[in-house]
Amino acid sequence: MDSILVTGNGPLSGTIPIAGAKNACLTLMPATLLSDEPLTLTNAPRLSDIRTMSELLASLGAEVTSMQGGKVLAMSCHGDINTRADYDIVRKMRASNLVLGPLLAREGHAEVSLPGGCAIGARPMDIHTDGLARMGAEIELRDGYLHARAAGGKLKGAVIDFPFASVGATENIMMAATLARGSTVINNAAREPEIVDLATCLRKMGARIEGDGTGTITIEGVESLHGATHPVVADRIELGTYMLAPAICGGEVECLGGRIDLVRAFCEKLDAAGIGVEETKTGLKVARRNGRIHAVDVATEPFPGFPTDLQAQFMALMCTADGTSVLEETIFENRFMHAPELMRMGAEIEVHGGTATVTGVERLRGAPVMATDLRASVSLILAGLAAEGETVVSRVYHLDRGYEHVVRKLSDVGAKIERIKGK
């Protein structure tokens, strides 16, 4: 099994290109099931999760062609459709559940295995299935599969009130509603940039959607959708992660393609910690101001709040801050599994339920550590950049699901990092 060796060696300098958003691309890809015309995505990230979604779509009857080294995905679903999403593929990735809405909308029935993904806590499908049931779907959980069928063979519009702003459920219902009879209103909808990106792509395909980016989204069903070409929005989580690299070990790095509007709440916390962020013509330039960084409290929130997917990385930064910070995780209950690994590097962290108290130390120390999930893996790499000596991060297969060429990107700005092939 591969591992990554990081040696702390001082400030960073240069540019890092930001890839297309994994979470946006994984949402956009199932939209090809809604039309028998081609859907082409540009600026696609080159990740194992993208390959898994390509495999899943191919198993359902779609043609998926990767071009330009994986940065362009050409998809078409013009033939017979298989409406069963098998466990062997779905178990690999949580986003696989996003084929449920499109399959129901186009074919009127579907069998989708319950999904897998990172072990960061319960993420039940109830909010997805309850919304689809409001649209006339009859859904039964049997043998680990959701067996769904639209009454009369076609979904119908409905008013759906989410108990909380679920990103995945918003995406699933949006896609399902594009081909439903009548109008669908989603109240308490998620407002993430990935939602706006999906709505933009669906409109290019002929969907009638209003209100994306707000708490209420309205979709007027149409008879059919057509093909389109759409660029995947920049990955705000990769952006935030690489912005933390010069923050944690000094120097100045420009993140090419970065946008303030994608990470505004995150940037506010960086500013409070003593990290400067400057907009440029090509992205965002980040540099630590004079002296040691300041401790800052953070509570994760749905967008536009502080992202849960940047909590682990920000904790790594706070481990060397001047003072004590409190990090509150409100989204996923098991998302402090990286804390014990950071403590192996000399961090002072106390975890009580959904709250972690971090007292900054002068310097972390390199140590062998183990990644427990996708974001935890990169937080340990960031900690290694600021640590004295060598840090070996094992189980980095998590990393490949969400970060393309992380070793190359960090090496290009002066980090001493290498991937060690397993036996």
CA distance 286 to 280: 10
CATH number at residue 89: 3.65.10.10
The model's pLDDT over 361-385, given as tens digits with 9 standing for 90+, comes to 999 999 999 988 877 899 999 999 9
Residue 37 burial by CB count (10 A; 0-12/13-18/19+): exposed, middle or buried?
middle
For the chain, 423 residues long, the average pLDDT of each consecutive 10-residue run is 93 97 96 98 94 96 96 95 94 89 97 64 74 96 92 96 94 98 98 97 98 98 98 96 96 97 98 97 95 95 94 97 96 83 97 96 96 87 96 90 91 97 81
Co-location of 225 and 238 in the same domain: no
Co-location of 199 and 243 in the same domain: no
Set 77, 118, 255, 267: catalytic member: 118
Question: 206, 231, 256: which is the final residue of a domain?
Answer: 231
CA distance 326 to 356: 6
Beta carbons within 8 Å of 228's beta carbon, 6+ residues apart: 39, 40, 201, 204, 205
User: What is the domain range of residue 387?
Assistant: 3-19+234-420
Q: Is 94 annotated as a binding residue?
A: yes
| Structure-block tokens of residue 67 | 């071009």
Co-location of 64 and 211 in the same domain: yes
Q: What pLDDT was estimated at residue 252?
A: 97
* Longest CA span, the chain: 67
CA distance 241 to 383: 12
Co-location of 127 and 215 in the same domain: yes
Q: What pLDDT was estimated at residue 290?
A: 83
CA distance 176 to 185: 12
Co-location of 119 and 239 in the same domain: no
Co-location of 297 and 390 in the same domain: yes
Q: What pLDDT was estimated at residue 118?
A: 38
Co-location of 219 and 353 in the same domain: no
Q: Is 80 annotated as a binding residue?
A: no
What one-character-per-residue DSSP string does 281-344 give?
SSEEEEEE-SSSPBP--EEB-STTSB-GGGHHHHHHHHTTSBSEEEEE--S-TTTTTTHHHHHH
| Structure-block tokens of residue 236 | 């705000």
Q: What pLDDT was estimated at residue 116?
A: 52
Co-location of 94 and 140 in the same domain: yes
Co-location of 225 and 275 in the same domain: no
Q: What pLDDT was estimated at residue 147?
A: 95
Q: What pLDDT was estimated at residue 22?
A: 92
Q: Taking the CB of residue 281, how many other CB atoms lie within 10 A of it?
A: 4
Number of domains present in the structure of the chain: 2
Co-location of 42 and 173 in the same domain: yes
Co-location of 130 and 278 in the same domain: no
Question: 231, 266, 293: which is the final residue of a domain?
Answer: 231
Question: 231, 260, 289: which is the final residue of a domain?
Answer: 231
Q: Is 23 annotated as a binding residue?
A: yes
Q: Does the predicted TM-score (pTM) go above 0.95?
A: no
Q: What pLDDT was estimated at residue 124?
A: 65
Q: What pLDDT was estimated at residue 357?
A: 98
Nearest to 63 by CA among 35, 27, 86, 88: 35
Q: What pLDDT was estimated at residue 176?
A: 98
**E-state strands within 172-289:** 183-187, 208-210, 216-220, 228-231, 251-256, 275-279, 283-288
118 assigned to active site: yes
Co-location of 56 and 14 in the same domain: no
